[in-house]
């Protein structure tokens, strides 16, 4: 075994040497010192949030620098203008995803949208199909509009929280249920109670999934390491087994009841496309939609649509505790504009401070921190540097959101920074859902949920830190997805009568 490992490492070293010689004529962005074979992988294994580690390197090497990851190359973009240049104005060149072994496993060999390495006509079709399905659901074509679904879940949430007033409580599971029910209703027309075994299974599945998103695992850049015991790979296989058990069942249920004249949800939309992709003899034709694509679409809808919104909502609650004056301003605005009823999405144009607080939560928390990594699909240049094909691109969204070049007092929570002449506006350095060809498809849905859920909670309750408890920390858990440390709340019922939707 030792000889085999040694030969593997020699092959990697030789491959790396050949790559370095091949790229020696390139003007590569500056890089910190690396170690043989592994390159700069150790950068991501220091402990602490990756965005802070990369910020320290950026302070020394500039807003555009490179890292060697095994035999491959990565570049890191810090400056918001540089990020916009790469992902928006040169979006086609940076539209790929990295080739990572764990992502290939999770995505059924790149059958999804978010993880797919490809930037091909088939990928374009799948993304367009997903965008159309989301729009149909938001507008309520053949199904209740998403706004009505959110209203229903917000009413259930505030009713549930009413039983927890004037005592120390943890509302995170109630928030989790609210967001997950909206997503699952859209995806496969199912909602859950808080003690439903399937909900508990999905909750555990999503929690496990967030733990495998950390970058820099050696097996992702050197897949031969899969022959060695790995906690991460074991967890990935557990996730896949649980996910496939749940979603295969949903797929078969939908397939057995599918009616092309009654597209009920996102799963039905994909099934319709799969049926259309076959000719009269049942052979695949055209868009290439398969069972794997349908199931991966279901998976990406309820993981991507759930985790980011749930995490951001937790941050919003924490900021309301930390900045009670912001909480009071939101409540005053709602009382003045909508009275005693719960807010709807139609109200967002008339409630700019509430919407600004949602946007400030997205900026200040920067839950995605590094966004989704990209890959250069061609040899290209950026700001005078050469970026070879297959270079991985990380964007430090957190720093773009905290760079004093773009933000006044960036570490303060100030919803008014997004309000101009009484209207909400979007600064160019505001990138919570990324930009360009891989930007988040569910950004509108996320903003709708955050606006209506946060507004609904603040309409009914004052959110306080429990008496005698230390002020909760604003330091995130140091993972790829930036979640707040666990905290408790104290809900005070507000003197609001006849609150209804």
Please tell me the predicted confidence (pLDDT) of residue 226. 67
Lowest model confidence (mean pLDDT) among 166-175, 300-309, 444-453: 300-309
286-308 pLDDT per residue, tens? 567 888 888 988 888 878 778 88
Please tell me the predicted confidence (pLDDT) of residue 197. 93
Please tell me the predicted confidence (pLDDT) of residue 99. 78
d(CA 184, CA 265): 9
336-349 pLDDT per residue, tens? 999 999 999 999 99
Q: What is the mean pLDDT of residues 363-391?
A: 92
Q: Is the pLDDT of residue 15 over 80?
A: no
Can you give the residue range of the structural domain that contains 156?
A: 2-493
Please tell me the predicted confidence (pLDDT) of residue 69. 79
Q: How buried is 208 (Cβ within 10 angstroms: 0-12 exposed, 13-18 middle, 19+ buried)?
A: middle
d(CA 445, CA 302): 12
pTM of the model: 0.88
Please tell me the predicted confidence (pLDDT) of residue 221. 62
What's the angle, vertex CA 483, arms to CA 478 and CA 488, rounded to 5? 120
Residue 149 maps to which CATH number? 1.10.630.10
Residue carrying structure tokens 């004037």 = 166
Are the C-beta atoms of 298 and 188 separated by less than 8 Å? yes
CB atoms within 10 A of CB 145: 15
Q: What is the mean pLDDT of residues 207-234?
A: 71
| Mean of pLDDT over the chain | 86
Please tell me the predicted confidence (pLDDT) of residue 234. 86
User: Is 97 within a domain?
Assistant: yes
53-88 pLDDT per residue, tens? 889 999 999 999 999 977 789 999 989 999 999 999
User: Is 499 within a domain?
Assistant: no
Number of domains in the chain: 1
User: Is 501 within a domain?
Assistant: no
Q: Is the pLDDT of residue 24 over 70?
A: no
Q: Residue 16: which of 230, 219, 225, 221 has the closest Cα?
A: 221
Q: Which helix (H) or strand (E) holds 452?
A: helix 443-460
Please tell me the predicted confidence (pLDDT) of residue 461. 97
Q: What percent of the chain has pLDDT over 90?
A: 55
d(CA 435, CA 88): 6
* Local structure of residue 67 (DSSP, 8 states): E
State the pLDDT confidence band at 469, using cuts at 50, 70 and 90.
very high
d(CA 110, CA 124): 13
The length of the chain is: 501
Please tell me the predicted confidence (pLDDT) of residue 124. 80
256/135: higher pLDDT: 256
d(CA 290, CA 371): 28
98/480: higher pLDDT: 98
Please tell me the predicted confidence (pLDDT) of residue 389. 94
Are the C-beta atoms of 366 and 397 separated by less than 8 Å? yes
CA distances from 69 to 10, 225, 385 (A): 16, 14, 18
458/143: higher pLDDT: 458
304-325 pLDDT per residue, tens? 778 889 999 999 999 999 999 9
Q: What percent of the chain has pLDDT over 70?
A: 87
User: Is 401 within a domain?
Assistant: yes
* Local structure of residue 466 (DSSP, 8 states): P
d(CA 362, CA 136): 26
Please tell me the predicted confidence (pLDDT) of residue 104. 79
DSSP secondary structure letters along 222-258: -GGGGGS--HHHHHHHHHHHHHHHHHHHHHHHHHHT-
User: Is 498 within a domain?
Assistant: no
Q: Is the pLDDT of residue 14 over 50?
A: no
User: Is 87 within a domain?
Assistant: yes
Please tell me the predicted confidence (pLDDT) of residue 28. 95
Please tell me the predicted confidence (pLDDT) of residue 286. 52
132/491: higher pLDDT: 491
Phi, psi dihedrals of residue 368, rounded to the nearest 5°:
-85, -15
Residue carrying structure tokens 């992988």 = 41
Q: Which of 54-63, 112-121, 456-465 has the highest mean pLDDT?
A: 456-465
User: Is 88 within a domain?
Assistant: yes
User: Is 212 within a domain?
Assistant: yes
């Amino acid at each position: 075994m030792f000889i085999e490992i040694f030969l593997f490492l020699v092959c990697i070293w030789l491959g790396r040497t050949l790559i370095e010689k091949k790229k020696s004529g390139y003007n590569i962005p500056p890089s910190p010192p690396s170690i043989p074979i592994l390159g700069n992988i150790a950068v991501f294994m220091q402990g602490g949030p990756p965005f802070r580690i990369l910020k320290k390197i950026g302070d020394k090497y500039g807003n555009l620098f490179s890292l060697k990851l095994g035999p491959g190359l990565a570049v890191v973009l810090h400056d918001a203008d540089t990020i916009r240049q790469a992902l928006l104005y040169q979006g086609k060149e940076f539209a790929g995803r990295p080739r990572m072994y764990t992502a290939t496993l999770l995505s059924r060999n790149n059958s999804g949208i978010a993880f797919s390495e490809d930037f091909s006509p088939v990928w374009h079709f799948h993304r367009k199909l997903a965008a159309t399905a989301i729009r149909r659901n938001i507008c309520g074509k053949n199904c209740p509009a998403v706004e009505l679904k959110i209203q229903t879940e917000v009413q259930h949430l505030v009713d549930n929280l009413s039983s927890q007033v004037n005592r120390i409580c943890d509302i995170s599971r109630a928030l989790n249920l609210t967001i997950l029910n909206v997503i699952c209703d859209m995806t496969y027309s199912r909602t859950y109670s808080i003690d439903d075994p399937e909900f508990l299974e999905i909750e555990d599945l999503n929690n496990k999934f967030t733990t495998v998103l950390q970058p820099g695992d050696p097996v992702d850049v050197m897949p031969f390491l899969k022959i060695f015991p790995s906690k991460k790979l074991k967890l990935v296989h557990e996730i896949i087994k649980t996910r496939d058990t749940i979603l295969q069942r949903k797929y078969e249920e939908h397939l057995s009841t599918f009616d092309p004249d009654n597209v009920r949800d996102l799963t039905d939309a994909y099934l319709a496309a799969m049926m259309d992709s076959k000719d009269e003899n049942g052979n695949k034709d055209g868009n290439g939609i398969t069972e794997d694509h349908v199931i991966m679409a279901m998976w990406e809808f309820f993981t991507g649509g759930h985790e980011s919104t749930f995490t951001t909502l937790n941050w919003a609650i924490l900021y309301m505790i930390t900045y009670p004056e912001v909480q009071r301003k939101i409540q005053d605005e709602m009382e003045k504009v909508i009275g005693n009823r719960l807010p709807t999405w139609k109200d967002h144009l008339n409630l700019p401070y509430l919407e600004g607080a949602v946007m400030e939560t997205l900026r200040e928390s920067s839950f995605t921190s590094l966004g989704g990594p990209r890959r250069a699909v061609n040899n290209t240049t950026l700001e005078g540097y050469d970026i070879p094909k297959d270079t991985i691109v990380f964007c430090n969204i957190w720093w773009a959101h905290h760079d004093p070049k773009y933000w006044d007092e960036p570490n303060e929570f100030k919803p008014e920074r997004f309000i101009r002449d009484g209207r909400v506006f979007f600064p160019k350095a505001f990138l919570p859902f990324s930009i360009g060809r891989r930007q988040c498809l569910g950004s509108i849905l996320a903003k709708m949920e955050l606006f209506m859920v946060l507004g609904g909670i603040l309409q009914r309750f004052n959110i306080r830190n429990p008496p005698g408890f230390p002020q909760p920390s604003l330091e995130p858990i140091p993972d790829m997805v930036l979640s707040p440390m666990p905290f408790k709340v104290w809900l005070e019922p507000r003197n609001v009568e006849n609150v209804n939707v």
